[in-house]
Amino acid sequence: MLRRYILFRVLQIIPVLFAIVTIDFLIIHLVPGDPAILLAGPDASQQYIDSIRAQFGLNKPLIEQYFIYIYNLLQGNLGISVLSRQPVLQVVMERVGPTLLLMLTAWFVSLALGIYLGTKAGLKKGSVLDRVLSITTLTMYSIPVFWFAVLLVSLFAIRLDLLPIAGMVDPVNPGSGIAYALDVAVHMVLPITCMVTFYMPQFFQLTRISVASTLEEDFPRTLQAAGLGKTNVYSRYILKNASLPVVTLAGLWLGYSLTGAVLIEVVFAWPGLGILLFNSALSRDYPVLLGIFLVASVMVVVVALITDLIYVFLDPRVSYKKATT
């Protein structure tokens, strides 16, 4: 039954991705602005604009462009970037690494801190510790990220000259091997701090609330009455039940991670997908935009699948329900 559920969920991905590609394609082409005119420049002749349109297939009817796109997509061809005239897959994939590095690290730190502090506070709801943590995290959550970034930079980079302001590596001496990795690590400190400040409070609040509410249910008392040890009750039952919404949020956030940090990437000049998305949108580079959306959608769908599968382990009802329908 479990196997059937998993198979069902995996097969579901195909129509979902198809729908996403269709909607992305339509939305992008509905936005006013013409890449050919932008690429041609302010004083271009109509002839040149037409030649660019023909080169990128923009002169065909939209529905035909759509079928050509789908046909190419099925062969693994995402098209050619209007701006750099290079394959979209290459342009997009060389930005995935830096973004994943930044987002996974921030995700992991936020999740770990949020769950740890959230459980501490949730188990002792109303205590001083809980109040202090709640107010602190709420304040952190309310700080606008870009403002906080500027603040951090002027303190740690300009005043104290401790950390680099922007970029992923030192452009002058990028180094190699361990020196390169260390250089990247140093450049990550400020952007990650900013992101953790924004995302950790969400995990904290959610964990705190769900731990506290699970604690108020009857079963922990019943289990203890039945003679189970406190540790057992907490670790195997309370936290397991409380973890469902947290897993949902963590999965959701991980899914959005590829495109979720546009602002951070722009402020810290981090060479990831966010900046590529920003620039491609401004120059109406349709193939690259579609490519980014596709990669991001695949990420969301796959992470959603993994989240659903984790549910099966956390809550046996999930698979039973699906199997009976």
Residues 217-246 that bind another protein (CB under 8 A): 220-221, 224-225, 227-236, 239-240, 243, 246
The reply to whether 127 sits near another protein by the rule CB under 8 A is: yes
* Minimum gap (Å) between residue 16 Cβ and another protein: 23
Of 78, 133, 153, 290, the one binding another protein by CB under 8 A: 153
Of 170-209, binders to another protein (CB under 8 A) are 170-176, 179-186, 188-189, 207
Among 70, 104, 135, 155, binds another protein (CB under 8 A): 104
Burial class (CB in 10 A: 0-12, 13-18, 19+), 284: buried
Whole-angstrom Cα distance, residue 77 to residue 90? 11
Q: Report the chain's terminal Cα–Cα distance, integer Å.
A: 11
The reply on whether position 135 binds another protein by CB under 8 A is: no
- Of the candidate spans 22-30, 164-172, 197-205, 290-298, the one that interacts with another protein by CB under 8 A turns out to be 164-172
Give 76 or 126: the residue with its C-beta nearer to another protein.
126
> Rule CB under 8 A: which of 13-32 touch another protein?
31-32
- Toward another protein, which CB reaches closer, 12 or 307? 307
Burial of 200 (0-12, 13-18, 19+ CB in 10 A): buried
Q: What is the DSSP string of 105-143?
A: HHHHHHHHHHHHHHHHHHHTTTSHHHHHHHHHHHHHHHS
Number of residues that bind another protein (CB under 8 A): 119
* Backbone angles phi and psi of 87, in degrees to 5: -60, 135
Angle of CA points 147, 149, 153, to nearest 5°: 120
- Say how many residues make up the chain: 325
Task: Give 87's strand partners.
Answer: 80
120 vs 278: CA distance, rounded Å: 40
Binding mask 36-65 for another protein (x = CB under 8 A): -xxxxxxxxxxxx--x---x----------
Residues 257-296 that bind another protein (CB under 8 A): 265-269, 271-272, 275-276, 278-279, 282-284
Complex with another protein: residue 221 or 321, whichever CB lies closer = 221
Compute the least distance from the CB of residue 10 to another protein, in Å: 19
Amino acid at 36: A
Encoded tokens for 137: 């995290």
Nearest to 223 by CA among 238, 245, 212: 238
94 touching another protein, by CB under 8 A: yes
Contact residue for another protein among 164, 191, 251, 291 (CB under 8 A): 164
Minimum CB separation of residue 195 from another protein in Å reads 13
